[in-house]
Amino acid sequence: MRFIKGHGTENDFVILPDPEGALDLTAEAAARLCDRHAGIGADGVLRVVRTKVSGEPAVEGLAAEWFMDYRNADGSIAEMCGNGVRVFARYLVDAGLAEPGEWDVATRAGLRRVTIGASGDVRVEMNRPVCLGEGEATVAGETLRGVRVSMGNPHLACPVDRPLAELDLCHAPGFDPAVFPDGVNVEFFRLVGERHVEMRVYERGSGETRSCGTGTVAVAVAAALGGSAPDGASALPTGEWTVDVPGGRVTVSLEDGTSFLTGPAVLVAEGETRSDWL
């Protein structure tokens, strides 16, 4: 099976070209591919398949040629991945399957419009963040409050008033499953300048990662709200934020009714898995 390895701010992926939908990608196979000791190693898998042959009910009827079938490192299915969309788009252009310009990618969270050149950063329209009020996460016995944000997938963005390196993220943060029945990506952020934050993230199904695209947007929303969300904060702020993650830097633009994420997307290797392995 052919694969490509790529990353967006060191949030890394195994890309599987499957244009005609011939690949039966099981949860076990995705997890084995992502295993950093016994597999290729990645935070997730991006299966590249034409929307019309994907067999995915969530994208039926969407007006995009390509569907990003995203899987977490544990093999579970995910709705959306902001860094993944950028890497997915970069692969399509480099492989000659799409032209530089503006076009849509189908995801389980709906269409995402990308703006991409022959090289350089990729811009993704991430659609409107939905603020759902506040929630809590527990880290090493400490309870932190944060802002619940839906980016098509669930997030809890928690402000922290000390260096993020002091947080112990060796284990998954605790949360109330009644509030987050499908699990949650938990971000921790600290203001380091004007409209400038640093962030760490613990992703559901993957653990702590070097970056999370949807998480950077959730953090920008939470930071713009001052780290709290009274009355659900139905009126979302606007403005441009710089978000530093362990793997690099991205820019988040919050605009009326939508949001944009701009950052790098890099392809680093390609190869073939052994036919007797998966």
- Among candidate residues 81, 131, 158, 170, the one labeled active-site is 81
Binding residues: 11, 72, 82-83, 153, 185, 203-204, 213-214
Q: Are strands 130-139 and 142-150 parallel, antiparallel or unpaired?
A: antiparallel
User: What is the pTM (predicted TM-score) of this model?
Assistant: 0.94
Residues 186-195 as b/e (b if ≥16 CB within 10 A, e otherwise) read bbbbbeeeee
pLDDT value at residue 234? 61
| pLDDT tens, residue by residue, 17-75 | 999 999 999 999 999 999 999 999 999 999 999 999 999 999 999 999 999 999 999 99
CB contact at 8 A, 238 and 207: no
pLDDT band of 125, cuts 50, 70, 90: very high
| Secondary structure percentages of the chain, helix, strand, coil, to 5 | 15, 45, 40
Q: Please check the confidence at residue 132 and state whether its pLDDT lies above 70.
A: yes
Asked if residues 169 and 97 have their Cβ atoms less than 8 Å apart, the reply is: no
Per the annotation, the verdict on 131 as an active-site residue is no
CATH 3.10.310.10, applies to 2-123+264-272? yes
Task: Please give the backbone phi and psi of residue 4, each rounded to the nearest 5 degrees, phi first.
Answer: -125, 145
Instruction: Give the model confidence (pLDDT) of 156-211 as tens digits.
Output: 999 999 999 999 999 999 999 999 999 999 999 999 999 999 999 999 999 999 99
Active-site annotation holds for 212: yes
Domain boundaries, the chain: 2-123+264-272, 130-256
From the list 34, 131, 158, 212, the catalytic residue is 212
Examine domains 2-123+264-272 and 130-256 and report if their fold is the same. yes
For the record, the structure tokens of 224 come out as 């713009």
Residues belonging to the binding site for substrate are 11, 72, 82-83, 153, 185, 203-204, 213-214
227 by DSSP, 3-state: which? coil
Instruction: Say which CATH superfamily domain 130-256 falls into.
Output: Diaminopimelate Epimerase; Chain A, domain 1 (3.10.310.10)
- Asked if 123 and 131 count as a contact pair (C-beta separation under 8 A), the reply is no
